Structure 1
């Protein structure tokens, strides 16, 4: 049964330029994929679904006797095209292959702090969740914005950013987009921690203000690790704008996200 599966998979790969092209576009390492081609291992369920979607075959078809599968493919030849979508996925899959598995150490929930780009002078605390989906580490950043000063006049607005994270050469790269309005892409680069216990991660964020001005802005950012199991309702209730020097924001955090003061460098830099 494994041999039929392996032969069928090798036949599908023959419609492409190389095995490397297939593995890059699938986001699966070459050694791992070679084990499937040899018939020594069967892919996990989620990986098998990705393979079937990529080659446009049903899961049960891949397990057919090879002679029967070969006739099926001959009747419905594979259409190998490089669409705009596949080109984009090629780039992302190459990044995924280079990303270090050390990123899994950072899975969990974080409070995130930085000076708001749309509300100058206000510290924004938001909630970030990094989790693994298949071979990739993805994340969601939720901002809770409160409009109005009086209790009866307050209106809560939530912004949800979805993104993907990579660990490349001792830096954590996080790219996301605003998933409700699709009007912003943000990049955050964080220093990893080399301690056994994660407390804080800090770095820089590049984005645009949410105001009509839409000014490109860079700001220092800090992420405070909360753990892998938290009270979401309570955590989200703590996400809002804060005034500078607010006692609810640790002084060390305020110092790390401070964008003011003397700067002896030519560029705006994160505080190492």
Structure 2
């Protein structure tokens, strides 16, 4: 009788072009893979990891009851690793996540420019699970005339977690001139409510100059008062910022 593993492998294989193509792309022995499909043998731990990485699933998921596994892959179709190294790396880094890279919901973000610490910039951040990855959206407001930017800028990006750090790559959504990398410490707990770190990227006015900012994200929850959170967004003198910014 086929095992859970063999039946689930058959489900995964149905998302590929053919067994031969899967084995060629995943660097697997075709004869041995057919034995796995037939339930005649089981892969080694190293081979199992390679199979799971190829299909973008977790190792424990492949041993689930077949009906539950079929429902899982129906809702979250496998992401077959690409042949080219660049796409494969992006998929492996950002799209093979069994859980969000950080606590999902909304954050109030604060940043300061070390070269000019006289101002505090406040923006709104949304972190959400998106398929096999973690999506990040940021809204920043610049109400002052002396700043050569639109009154509102939106950024979009993707995040991953490594060694207790949250790594985000974001880009300004409209003109796509400004791209930045954000690295935040997640602390020692799963539900950390204050994340601190650095932003390194190109400045939003032209996308030319490289800038570095210190930043803090404070968790607001999954359903905060978004109107109030957006109202707090803007640029404030460091010595005259709203009281809640200093808390």
TM-score by length of 2: 0.69
Deviations 1:96-151 (A, max 9, x none): 477684735x11111111125998743210000001112211110111121438xx
> Structure 1 residues 177 and 119 mapped into 2: Cα distance closer, same or farther (>3 Å)?
farther
Of 207, 212, 227, 1:218 maps to: 212
In structure 1, the residue matched to 2:58 is: 29
Superposed, 1:109-148 pairs within 5 Å as 109-115=106-112, 121-148=118-145
In structure 2, the residue matched to 1:165 is: 159
Superposition deviation, residue 230 in structure 1: 1.4
Are residue 14 (structure 1) and residue 20 (structure 2) matched?
A: yes
> Structure 1 residues 118 and 181 mapped into 2: Cα distance closer, same or farther (>3 Å)?
farther
Does the CA contact (< 8 Å) of 1:27 and 1:96 recur in 2? no
Does the CA contact (< 8 Å) of 1:188 and 1:203 recur in 2? yes
Does the CA contact (< 8 Å) of 1:173 and 1:187 recur in 2? yes
Of 55, 66, 69, 1:41 maps to: 69
> Structure 1 residues 22 and 217 mapped into 2: Cα distance closer, same or farther (>3 Å)?
same
Number of aligned positions between the proteins: 214
Q: Which runs of 5+ in 1 are unaligned?
A: 56-80, 150-154, 254-272
Superposed, 1:63-82 pairs within 5 Å as 82=83
In structure 2, the residue matched to 1:93 is: 91
Q: Which runs of 5+ in 2 are unaligned?
A: 1-6, 29-48
Q: State how far apart, in whole Å, the 1-side matches of 2:68 and 2:216 are.
A: 45
1:14 match: secondary structure: helix
Does the CA contact (< 8 Å) of 1:117 and 1:217 recur in 2? no
Does the CA contact (< 8 Å) of 1:100 and 1:168 recur in 2? no
> Structure 1 residues 29 and 144 mapped into 2: Cα distance closer, same or farther (>3 Å)?
same
TM-score by length of 1: 0.63
